[in-house]
Structure 1
């Protein structure tokens, strides 16, 4: 019983530490994001990588029930954890040819392009980052390929149709 309690206590300490992982390099941040989408891994909550500004926009969209109509249309219960994932906006995932570009950095801002094929669909996203307290965080995401075009922050604030 003590062993079980010790394991549970260790999990409680380790889980927040993993969630608070820091990145001193923009490419390391983007690489960590897409490592979550490899076969056999469960992708975590994408908001863990968000900057303070993007988290605020996301939280406001939850408060404004931006995603609630999606659940209402299907009859499902709305759960904030099941909302749009900008790093992999498809419902199903089987990624091939993931290519993470080099970061363009100016002061405390950076941009990286990521391309991949999900099943047979090519995708191209641009991830804008900001350095907060010495660590890189995602500040916005844009979809720029053949598929639907969107800018995450704009869609969370202004898009009446949602995703």
Structure 2
């Protein structure tokens, strides 16, 4: 990771994580897409140490392993940005759906256009220690559907 990008990500999360940890699923997804909007925004990389805190106890070790793999080999299993379902981003028409909550689980859909192409990302949440954590990210549509847990388990 480039040093400047790492500094920006760390500063964002030092300010945002306390709020995001207490936020509901919709707010967490909105906060993710806020990092992609506006000039100079660089988005997030889920396996980086700061963003990793948003994820469940089930996914954090997989993300940490992928981060270590990328640091050693230059590339991890994640070779695209899961939040935009692509290598690069030019997002428009971002819509965050209402959370469907069932006990300690919730689902939120994000719909947007990336370089004009329609995308749908589904976020699965679990409540851990009183806070909502991302337990799955998936793109069920298109030619190559995927789920984060499956990508990281290869």
TM category (shorter chain) comes to 0.7 to 0.9
CA contact (8 A) 1:123 1:147 kept: no
**Correspondence 1:116 to 2:112:** yes
| Residue in 2 that maps onto 1:34 | 33
Distance 1:119 1:24, change over 3 A: same
Q: Give the equivalent residue in structure 1 for 2:44.
A: 44
Listed as ranges, the gaps of 5+ residues in structure 1 are 1-11, 72-76, 159-163
Q: Is the 8 A contact 1:24 1:134 kept in 2?
A: no
**Cα deviations across residues 35-84 of structure 1 (Å, max 9, x unaligned)?**
11102223234342212211112223456x4x68xx9xxxxx6056x854
TM-score normalised per structure 2: 0.74
- 1:106 deviates by 1.0
Deviating above 3 A after TM superposition, structure 1's stretches of 4 or more consecutive aligned residues are 12-21, 60-63
For structure 2, the 5+ residue unaligned runs are: 1-9
CA distance in 2, matches of 1:88, 1:35: 12
Specify the alignment match of 2:130 in structure 1.
Answer: 134
Asked whether the equivalents of residues 144 and 150 of structure 1 are also in contact (C-alpha less than 8 Å), the reply is yes
Give the whole-Å Cα distance in 2 for the aligned partners of 1:14 and 1:150.
28
Instruction: Give the match for residue 16 of structure 1.
Output: 14
Per-residue deviation, 1:85? 2.7
RMSD over aligned Cα, in angstroms? 2.8
Deviation at 1:132, TM superposition (A): 1.7
1:3: which partner in 2?
Answer: none
Please report how far the alpha carbon of residue 28 of structure 1 lies from its aligned counterpart in structure 2 after TM superposition.
0.7
2:135 aligned counterpart, secondary structure: strand
User: 1:115-155 deviations in whole A, cap 9, x for unaligned?
Assistant: 11001211111100111222111111110222420011012
